[in-house]
Amino acid sequence: MARIVVPEAEALLDQEIPVLDKGFVRLVDYLGGDARIVQAARVSYGEGTKTFRQDRGLIHYLVRNEHTSPLEQVILTFHAKMPIFVARQWVRHRTARLNEISGRYSVMKDEFYVPDPNQVRFQSASNKQGRSEEALAEADVTEILDEWTEDHRTIYAHYQAMLDKGMARELARANLPLATYTEWYWQIDLHNLFRFLRLRMDPHAQYEIRAYGEALSRCAKAVAPIAYEAFEEHLQCCVKFSREEGAALLALLDGRESSLEGRAKQLFEEKLAALRARTGVGFDAQAPEG
């Protein structure tokens, strides 16, 4: 059987997609596409390719009902460059294969992430692990970024001096900061890439890894556009409600008050706001009076 070739993916091969100030994502290779998903799903009863409409319906059915194995037949390989702190979030997705540059064998480059001034914001009061929408004062941002850059220059100079004295690379690298850029080759199947994108493109994810998620999503969409359409429809843009929240939603639709209070009510209303944003449909989170 001939290799499946997707023109949109071929056009992206080996093209660096810039991310942050010095990073990138590059699609190195891919195996399969929408056609491979359809072939894998239909192999059990031996039917060949059908119409585009039928293939699209089948892929949406698979994603909607979490029949994941046909999507695992599609594999993407990336070369990516990111700050170490982004890599440590990224690597928590353990369903991929990767090879990272090693500071034991190689001298780490003098490349450090410097955030855009607009991203230097206050700690969020409601999200303990994130930043708020409010930026620091311009003078404070300038001072912070100047110190940030100078600290990196100083630390790298010390790192280089350690190497010049003959100190082992494996130990000298330990003094480098989390903003140091690293690189790796990362291979993952489409199903698990969608799981990655659903988490890392979420508005609650850290801005820096969201930027990489956007670049990876561009590649996934090129390789398997119908599957990516189904991902957006049934996974990325959906909102999950608990049983209690489902009852509250039904009450709202019936014009009744829900029993939710306090934090539970706040989370429910945040989900309704997310649902409005993702669907573009207005929805009143408060039950009518009377």
Q: What was the pLDDT predicted at 25?
A: 98
**Which structural domain, as residue segments, surrounds residue 167?**
117-175
- Pairwise CA distance, residues 53 & 61, whole Å: 12
**Same domain (yes/no): 262, 217:** no
Q: What was the pLDDT predicted at 274?
A: 83
Comparing CA positions, the residue from 175, 186, 255, 246 lying closest to residue 215 is 186
Distances in Å between the Cα of 195 and the Cα atoms of 217, 221, 252 are: 11, 14, 31
pLDDT in tens, 168-201: 999 999 999 999 999 999 999 999 999 999 999 9
Q: Report yes or no on whether pTM surpasses 0.85.
A: yes
Per the domain annotation, does 287 fall within a domain? Answer: no
Active-site residue identified among 200, 218, 243, 276? 200
The CATH code of the domain that includes 80 is: 3.30.1360.170
Residue 46 reports pLDDT greater than 60: no
- Pairwise CA distance, residues 33 & 135, whole Å: 42
Residue 286 reports pLDDT greater than 80: no
Number of structural domains found in the chain: 3
Q: Which of 56-60, 104-108, 262-266 comes out lowest in average pLDDT? A: 262-266
**Same domain (yes/no): 265, 213:** no
Q: What was the pLDDT predicted at 289?
A: 41
200 has catalytic annotation: yes
**Same domain (yes/no): 216, 82:** yes
- Pairwise CA distance, residues 217 & 201, whole Å: 9
The torsion angle over the Cα atoms of residues 260, 264, 270 and 272, rounded to 10 degrees, is -40
Residue 8 reports pLDDT greater than 60: yes
- Pairwise CA distance, residues 162 & 157, whole Å: 9
Per the domain annotation, does 168 fall within a domain? Answer: yes
Model confidence band, residue 44 (pLDDT cutoffs 50, 70, 90): low
**Same domain (yes/no): 70, 200:** yes
